[in-house]
Amino acid sequence: MPFITATAATQETYDVIVVGSGAGGGQTAYTLTMDGARVLMLEAGRHYDPVSETPMFQTPDMAPLRGIGTSDKPFGFYDATVDGGWQVPGEPYVQTSKEDSGRFDWWRARMLGGRTNHWGRISLRNGPYDFKPYSRDGLGFDWPISYEEMAPYYDKVELLVGVYGSNSGLENTPDSSPGCLLPPPKPKVSDLLVAARAAKLGIPVVPGHRAVLTQQLDWKNSQAKLHPGNPAAQKIIADDMQRRAACFWATPCGRGCSIRANYQSTTVHLPPALATGKLDIVTDAMVHEVTLGKDGRATGVGFIDRITRQQRHVTARVVVLAASACESVRILLNSKSTRFPHGLANSSGKVGKYIMDTVGSSLDGQVPLLESMPPHNEDAASGHQMYVPWWLYKDAAKLGFARGYHIEFGGGKGMPGLGTAAELEWLTGGSYGAKFKQDARRYYGSFVGFDGRGEMIPNEHSYCEIDPEVKDKWGIPVLRFHWKWSEHETRQAAHMQKTFGEIIEAMGGRVQGRVETDGAKAIAPGGSIIHEVGGAIMGADAKTSVTNSSCQTWDVDNLYLTDGAPFASNADKNPTLTIMANAWRASDRILERMRRKEL
């Protein structure tokens, strides 16, 4: 009975309650149950089964509006996300600014597996510098842990979920231990052209890292590395790895994967965790508070059963919040008591502070060398065969901004979509008729797009708090967001634009639109990139941080956070892999303390 009702859950006893089922919650539940802990997972959204629900080969003409994104399905009709987006009906939030420069748009996915179902699967490790940014340039905060402490967990996560890539040996771009990475996919023509021409500018282009199985996982060797001394866990994961198929080089990963060839919590973390028999999951469970006992320890959580609309309470020895950075913050701030009048675990006043997203900016180019290519299959791994890691560490002093960015790019003849032959006037002079059809054939696949993904430094002006008036449809007070970029971010966005223009030019291409030199206009609004982290940062000092290095809150001994909330910085590397590694690490600490009877 792994999926149980809210009522049933109130009658059971658990070691650990995990709130959230995405990258953080999935990894936490996996690690804990594989080591024998009895876990209750609460998910605010509905049950979701990627094996039976994923539209794999459906084409745009089978979808409403050719599958284009709408307010109901922002990333397109076939995107895996259901009941999610920057707006969720009945669950508002407040923005103190509607201006692009001061807004934070909050993405949520109310479904089992959360946003891991649709994410880009880009899996980059934070490097040694990324854990100690303050020590390097005096900005932001250091993590209370080092890369060396996280590295074994990166290895484990890569082995478990399956990540393709290669060891490039580049600065602050860590290599994985031997045997951790799957072979990268073959590059496309556009990838190779970017690589050849960027190299002339001194810009390195190396194989990307994504959580996609380019071949079956090495279950024979991985099982013992993942779970040393635990034969039961080894058998479960070996069996499950054999049930995951390798990528068949078709269909976009963002739809999810019914053959389980890429990582999503629902295809990788939850099946083996459920196979232990130690995991119960209640979906449609909208958690709004962590309850506190007289002894100052968390006793459990209160939630609303969305099916019956009834208030429920469940108990456990340990509570782990992994509801997404801002949702975990919301739960803490809404958990008020005489002991914690400003929200649970908030004696530092830092809960809700230092929300970060990723600096994003993009530019497209049209490249004559790629016109009228001989037809061949370019679906590849559905993107990110190659990428550009940040390469200007030595130039930090003269760039005018701190930190850096990586470049994601792509081109080729993908599945024709609504935009494939749109906006060609600047190339065709406005052709229509027979000439337009020839132009469409000529230009299809000749575009290359560049997306910068850069580090945002946490600041005092980007934070969230509980709005004093607005409540959601469940009666739960909602978040109010404040947002501001610093010049480090806007200058970085301008630098991205300049670099993209130079690469496009080096390819003999033409920039579509123009290179935006004003960084404030070039930068995507806060929340757009959906790399929300921070809000309950970890640190070495209880007065200035919310959790310690183990993701344990300073104030409440048995309360942990394993999503992006404890991130003390947001490196240019996409956060999901680090969320998982960190969650595994925190879960190991929980298990140790449970064995020592501290919990």
In the window 414-453, what residues touch another protein (CB under 8 A)?
414-423, 425-426, 429-434, 436-437, 440-441, 444-445, 447-449, 451, 453
Stretch that binds another protein, among 11-19, 170-178, 287-295, 362-370 (CB under 8 A): 362-370
Whether residue 344 contacts residue 337, with contact meaning beta carbons closer than 8 Å, is answered with yes
What is the contact mask toward another protein in residues 253 to 272, using x (rule: CB under 8 A)? Answer: xxx-----------------
Whether residue 304 contacts residue 312, with contact meaning beta carbons closer than 8 Å, is answered with yes
Q: Put the strands of the sheet holding 463-471 in their side by side order.
A: 94-95, 477-482, 463-471
State which residue, 28 or 251, has the beta carbon closest to another protein. 251
Among 8, 51, 196, 307, binds another protein (CB under 8 A): 196
Stretch that binds another protein, among 147-155, 248-256, 394-402, 543-551 (CB under 8 A): 248-256
Please report how close the Cβ of residue 280 comes to another protein at its closest, in angstroms: 24
Among 389, 410, 454, 501, binds another protein (CB under 8 A): 410
CB-count exposure of residue 169 (10 Å: 0-12, 13-18, 19+): exposed
Q: Decide: is 101 part of the binding site for another protein (CB under 8 A).
A: no
User: DSSP of 310-376, one letter per residue?
Assistant: EEEEEEEEEEEE-S-HHHHHHHHHH---SS-TT-TT-TTS-TT---B--EEEEEEEE-GGGTTPPP-
Whether residue 511 contacts residue 365, with contact meaning beta carbons closer than 8 Å, is answered with yes
The β-bridge partners of 18 are 41, 320
What is the contact mask toward another protein in residues 23 to 62, using x (rule: CB under 8 A)? Answer: -----------------------x------xxx-xxxxxx
- Residue 303 main-chain phi, psi, to 5 deg: -145, 165
Please report how close the Cβ of residue 462 comes to another protein at its closest, in angstroms: 17
Rounded Cα distance between 19 and 36, Å, is: 18
Residues 236, 239, 240, 241, Cα dihedral to 10°: 120
Residues 6+ apart with CB under 8 A from 322: 18, 19, 20, 22, 24, 25, 28, 328, 561, 562, 563, 583
Instruction: Return the residues of window 494-513 that contact another protein according to CB under 8 A.
Output: 512-513
Stretch that binds another protein, among 130-138, 319-327, 373-381, 538-546 (CB under 8 A): 373-381
Please report how close the Cβ of residue 51 comes to another protein at its closest, in angstroms: 13
Stretch that binds another protein, among 132-140, 161-169, 297-305, 375-383 (CB under 8 A): 375-383
State which residue, 139 or 440, has the beta carbon closest to another protein. 440
State which residue, 300 or 564, has the beta carbon closest to another protein. 564
Amino acid at 433: G
Stretch that binds another protein, among 133-141, 154-162, 376-384, 546-554 (CB under 8 A): 376-384
How many Cα atoms occupy the beta-carbon half-sphere of 126 within 13 Å? 32
State which residue, 223 or 462, has the beta carbon closest to another protein. 462
Q: Decide: is 132 part of the binding site for another protein (CB under 8 A).
A: no
Q: Check residue 84 and report its DSSP letter.
A: E
Among 135, 310, 311, 377, binds another protein (CB under 8 A): 377
Q: Decide: is 406 part of the binding site for another protein (CB under 8 A).
A: no
CA proximity to 479, closest of 18, 89, 91, 21:
91
181 three-state secondary structure: strand
Structure tokens at 345: 């675990």
Please report how close the Cβ of residue 36 comes to another protein at its closest, in angstroms: 35
State which residue, 247 or 583, has the beta carbon closest to another protein. 247
State which residue, 125 or 317, has the beta carbon closest to another protein. 125
Among 327, 378, 465, 489, binds another protein (CB under 8 A): 378
Stretch that binds another protein, among 21-29, 220-228, 273-281, 356-364 (CB under 8 A): 356-364
Among 374, 460, 596, 597, binds another protein (CB under 8 A): 374
Q: Decide: is 412 part of the binding site for another protein (CB under 8 A).
A: yes
Among 8, 64, 149, 470, binds another protein (CB under 8 A): 64
Instruction: Return the residues of window 279-338 that contact another protein according to CB under 8 A.
Output: none
Stretch that binds another protein, among 332-340, 358-366, 455-463, 543-551 (CB under 8 A): 358-366
Whether residue 146 contacts residue 128, with contact meaning beta carbons closer than 8 Å, is answered with yes
Between the alpha carbon of residue 26 and those of residues 43, 312, 321, the distances in Å are: 11, 22, 11
Amino acid at 353: K
CA proximity to 267, closest of 249, 244, 251:
244
User: DSSP of 233-256, one letter per residue?
Assistant: HHHHHHHHHHHSPPP-S-S-GGG-
Q: Which long-range contacts (CB under 8 A, 24 or more apart) does 96-102 make?
A: 96/480, 96/481, 96/482, 96/483, 97/482, 97/483, 100/525, 101/484, 101/485, 101/520, 101/525, 102/482, 102/483, 102/484
Rounded Cα distance between 363 and 165, Å, is: 25
Stretch that binds another protein, among 291-299, 336-344, 377-385, 463-471 (CB under 8 A): 377-385
Q: Decide: is 186 part of the binding site for another protein (CB under 8 A).
A: yes
What is the contact mask toward another protein in residues 71 to 90, using x (rule: CB under 8 A)? Answer: xxxxxxxxx--xxxxxxxx-
Instruction: Return the residues of window 563-582 that contact another protein according to CB under 8 A.
Output: 574
State which residue, 4 or 63, has the beta carbon closest to another protein. 63
Please report how close the Cβ of residue 62 comes to another protein at its closest, in angstroms: 5
